[in-house]
Amino acid sequence: MANRVRFAGVIFAHTVTHTTSVALSPTDVLERAKRFFAERVPNAAAYVEKEGPQFVVLRGQGGEEVVIRAWAEGAEGAGGAGGAGGGTTRVRASTLFFDQALDRFLSTLPLESAVEVA
């Protein structure tokens, strides 16, 4: 659930960040995310707005956004996509409105660690 802050009587929502490790390649994680948000979120589908070797930005019809980054463990500063092979992939995703759908998406992946939500 998103954190909320009250300032001058107005409630502001903060983005929610999910972080975990999975037993898939970064490329597989990003491909699954694109399919999941296009096909399995019926009332709030999101489609690719931008993408790169380690990230995808998905935009919903109302302008909502979810950003997902996946990288091979240990490749944080290497700049490589780590697209093939086994090993552990770190996944970090941020959203304001797609937190429930993001939880559902992450539950479809072979998790190697608990999902941390901040």
Residue 2 lies in a domain: no
- Residue 44 to residues 31, 71, 93, 101, Cα–Cα distance (Å): 18, 26, 17, 9
Give the C-alpha separation, 56 to 3, whole Å.
24
- What contacts 36, CB < 8 A, 6 or more positions away? 104, 105, 108
Q: What's the CATH number where 46 sits?
A: 3.30.310
The domain of 76 spans: 15-117
Residue 6 lies in a domain: no
The single residue listed with the structure tokens 């707005």 is 49
Write down the pTM of the prediction.
0.80
Residue 91 lies in a domain: yes
Pairing assessment for the beta strands 46-52 and 55-60 based on DSSP bridges: antiparallel
Residue 5 lies in a domain: no
Residue 8 lies in a domain: no
Residue 31: closest CA among 108, 111, 95: 108
Give the C-alpha separation, 19 to 5, whole Å.
22
Residue 88 lies in a domain: yes
User: So what's the pLDDT on residue 87?
Assistant: 84
Residue 36 lies in a domain: yes
The total domain count for the chain is 1
- What contacts 42, CB < 8 A, 6 or more positions away? none
Residue 7 lies in a domain: no
57-104 pLDDT, tens digit each:
999 988 889 999 999 988 655 444 444 556 899 999 999 888 889 999
8-29 pLDDT, tens digit each:
555 556 778 999 999 999 999 9
